[in-house]
Amino acid sequence: MVRIGDVWDRTLDVLRGRAGILAGIALLTFVLPGIVNGAFRSVVTPGSGLAMLGPVIVIGTILLLIYGFLAVTAVASDPAVDRASAFAIAGQRLLPALGVLAIVLLISLALFVPAIALMVAAGVRMNAAGGVEVPAGATGTLAGSGLAMLVALVAGLWLSARLVPLFGVIVNERRGLGALRRTLQLTRGSTLKLIGVMILYAIVVVVLMMAATSVVGVVARLLLGAEANAAVAMVLATVSALISAATSVLQSVFYARFWVAAHDREQRMAPLA
């Protein structure tokens, strides 16, 4: 079993020792897309011609984020990898990563099919205003859909924990779809600990993001004026992008170091098997 405390210690070592390389990757692949998205939303009017570029920007942002996660994973996994090598490795492994993530997305969506089917059977509908209309006489079916939704959320959390070293496997073991089965092997015995880490991480990120954007929003309003909506939105987008980038780097490094720890433990145990 992998010791989470040891993984965390190695994560801090990487963050301290390779901060410059990681910051350079994060600025290009995490921060820049967030700022571009924020600028786009703040200056483009919904329904205008430029609004049609929205999906293109979203797709480009997703690709850049995955590219960045792969690059950070390469840097955190191997001390010999520099920034240029990390970008090269990320480019080589981008297509396999997209294929694996597509399968993961389909599995995740499938988890919620029973809950959605029960909601439809109960007569839940969306109205023209985008609200949800719930009929009064289908309490049993609605309760079943709620239970199915809860089961899907728990299963999704379990799956997320089991896939923690996924990018580490894709980057370092050069696997494609076989990376899914491999990650299940590496996380065996560590699922509950990883779930705890993920829940704690999510709480910290949400609290940090809410606190930082609230304070910055108030300060920006005071400095820029109550009418400077676009400028304030841009400031908030920049702050959100910086916080998101920092937490994403922390998460990626931790996941990469978990792969290293699990892989090393497997190698040590192989002769005993």
Q: What is the pLDDT of residues 67-97, one digit of tens each?
A: 999 999 999 999 999 999 999 999 999 999 9
Average pLDDT over residues 146-173: 93
Average pLDDT over residues 165-190: 92
Give whole-number Cα distances, 79 to 14, 68, 183, 198, in Å. Answer: 9, 17, 22, 25
Average pLDDT over residues 104-131: 81
Residue 271, pLDDT above cutoff 70: no
pLDDT the model gives residue 128: 62
Residue 64, pLDDT above cutoff 70: yes
- Count of beta carbons in the 10 Å neighbourhood of residue 189: 10
Average pLDDT over residues 104-113: 93
pLDDT band at 102 (very low <50, low <70, confident <90, very high): very high
- Helix residue spans in the chain (DSSP H): 4-17, 19-26, 32-43, 54-77, 83-111, 113-121, 139-162, 166-172, 178-186, 191-224, 229-269
In this predicted model, which residue has the larger pLDDT, 138 or 76? 76
Residue 44, pLDDT above cutoff 70: no
pLDDT band at 270 (very low <50, low <70, confident <90, very high): low
Return mean pLDDT, the chain.
86
In this predicted model, which residue has the larger pLDDT, 47 or 254? 254
**Which helix (H) or strand (E) element contains residue 126?**
strand 125-126
Distance CA 7, CA 130 (A): 45
pLDDT the model gives residue 58: 83
pLDDT the model gives residue 234: 79
Average pLDDT over residues 172-198: 92
Q: Pairing relation of β-strands 125-126 and 132-133?
A: antiparallel
Greatest mean pLDDT among 16-20, 53-57, 127-131 lies in: 16-20
For the entire predicted model, the pTM comes to: 0.88
Distance CA 52, CA 75 (A): 36
pLDDT the model gives residue 225: 75
